[in-house]
Amino acid sequence: MNSSVENNISEKKDFVVSSSSLKDVRSFSREVFSKVNLNQDLKDELVLAIAEAAQNIVKHAYQNQETDDKMEIKISLDNGELEIGFFDKGRPVDNSNVRHRKIDDVKPGGLGTFFIKQIMDAVVFKEGEKPWINHLILTKKINY
């Protein structure tokens, strides 16, 4: 067994809130998941879910406006419980307004949240603790 592979991790990183940061978000996520023993398909799905959530912060919490603000992403895996936290200082998210479009209503847009809900077990929005405004938590039970 590769001794560099771990089953418990906790890593976080800040990113400027911008669409140009999304590739860095993916790189960070891939780097973190490279350290844990998950199958590649699941890793790819998790990277997609994380990138979609980060994209939602750019599009919705900041409405695509240029900013120097940063968002923080924290990936933790503890005994098979994966928790991914997103912290931002954008417009407060109204949990009741967060929904994906009906999947049989084929039109561009509205798929990101659908993907996140397909991939993760739970999606929870919380009010962020200072200095953050929003705290999104994605969780998934990992079966090794």
Partner 1 sequence: MSYKVTEENNVSIVHLDGEIDMDVTEKAKEVIMPLIEAKKEVHLNLKDVQYMDSSGISVLIESHQKATELGTKVVLKDISKSVLKVIMMAKLEQILNLG
# residues contacting partner 1 (CB under 8 A): 24
Q: Min. distance of Cβ 17 from partner 1 in angstroms?
A: 12
Q: Min. distance of Cβ 123 from partner 1 in angstroms?
A: 15
Q: Min. distance of Cβ 44 from partner 1 in angstroms?
A: 6
Q: Min. distance of Cβ 112 from partner 1 in angstroms?
A: 4
The 3-class secondary structure across the chain, one letter per residue, is CCCCCECCEEEEEEEECCHHHHHHHHHHHHHHHCCECCCHHHHHHHHHHHHHHHHHHHHHHCCCCCCCCEEEEEEEEECCEEEEEEEECCCCCCHHHCCCCCCCCCCCCCCHHHHHHHHCCEEEEEECCCCCCEEEEEEEECCC
User: CB of 122 within 8 A of CB of 139?
Assistant: yes
* Cα angle for residues 44, 122, 109 (degrees, 5° grid): 65
Work out which of 37, 118, 122, 127 binds partner 1, going by CB under 8 A: 118
By CB under 8 A, tell whether 90 contacts partner 1.
no
By CB under 8 A, tell whether 61 contacts partner 1.
no
By CB under 8 A, tell whether 123 contacts partner 1.
no
Work out which of 7, 36, 98, 114 binds partner 1, going by CB under 8 A: 114
By CB under 8 A, tell whether 85 contacts partner 1.
no
By CB under 8 A, tell whether 24 contacts partner 1.
no
Work out which of 5, 14, 37, 59 binds partner 1, going by CB under 8 A: 59
By CB under 8 A, tell whether 99 contacts partner 1.
no
